[in-house]
Each structure stands twice: as structure tokens, then as C-alpha cells.
Structure 1
């Protein structure tokens, strides 16, 4: 649990496990950059459950999530749900970073560098 008494791990484990089995190309590509502490020694989890939600990637140490949005996220109804979900999680002090699947598939190293800059780990 975090300081707010919120359970991080057990609320949505079955859905997270299923999503790991159906990982998208963009998620797999970015995971290669984040796994095994490859990103500045930070520990990431993929398809990490928090409450009713499952985050694409989550770093509990730094309390931030990385979400990869495919084409479905362009749908206005989906975009509204995404924003509501993000606000709920931000209320738990989780920072959110979003990129499109196309950006990750085009050049994941640029996405990783943008993440480092956004976190203040690298200079612009």
C-alpha cells in the first residue's frame, strides 16, 4: 500500500496477466528499453495493476507511469475515459507520460530520451 492506503498490486492482477500475454508491438519495443533496469537503473513493471486500472509501464520508485496509446485512443469516448483514468491515478501522486504507438515504433530511443528529459534525468 502507498501512504494513502491504496493497494498497488492485487486489485486487478488477472487482467494484467492477460494483457502481458497480448502485448502490442509498441509495448514490446519500449519494454526492451525499460526492462531489467536499463533506464537509469529504475525498476519498471509492465502491465502493472493499480486498483481497477492496468498501467502499460509503472515505476513505483519514482511514482510514474508510461502509457502507449494506439489508434483506439483517438476515439473521443476513449480519450475521455483515458483522461478520467489519468486524473484518478494522478490523485494518487502518479505522474503520467503518454506517447503514441507510432512514435514508439518509429524511434523508441527518442521516446526514451524525451522521458528522461521530462523526468529531469537528462538535459534537453
Structure 2
């Protein structure tokens, strides 16, 4: 999975935070609080995200209502999987990553590994 562009990420951040479907107009109103954007720009980027499979959409009257197809965590995991898959030394990449983690992040990783082990039944 490719990393999202700046405006793509801003749109996704709002949809993830809201936890509900929204129109391009809803997103535009929120984005315009920080910087002016045209409706057509937000609509075009939302349509691109739809074509990439990151958003699903459903017609509501004349407007499309958009909703993420994956959670923020699933998106992050997909980026990490791709990064490891492209690396000829995934163990080395993981080690470099872990060495830069905070104590809290290491605790979270340990918890995730324990949970994954339980789910795998081993």
C-alpha cells in the first residue's frame, strides 16, 4: 500500500476520527477551518481514494457519502508490511525499528505479540 498524499491523509484522518460516513462537503467544511480549499479539490481526492480502495461510497440523494474501508491501524499495518516485504533483510529492519522505540511503544509491542500468540493458539 502506498503512503497517502498530504490531502489524502487529511481527509482520511477526519473520517477515521469521526467514525462515521461523511460527504465531501462535510470534509471540506472541516478542512476549510485551517486552509481554504475548493469543493472540487476535496471531491476529486475523495474519488481518488475511492478508486484506490481506501474509501467506499454510497449515494445519498445527489451526494456521495464516503467511509474508510480500513481502520487507521490496518492502514499503518499495511504500510509496515509493505516496507518489510520490500526489504532484503526484514530482521535487520525490524531490529532498527525496535531500537528506536520508546519504552511505551515497546510495552505496546510486547502486548501485541502476546495477544497474537494467544490468537494463534500457540
Q: TM-score, structure 2 length as denominator? A: 0.26
Greater strand proportion: 1
Q: TM-score, structure 1 length as denominator? A: 0.26
Greater helix proportion: 2
Give the structure with higher Rg (CA).
2
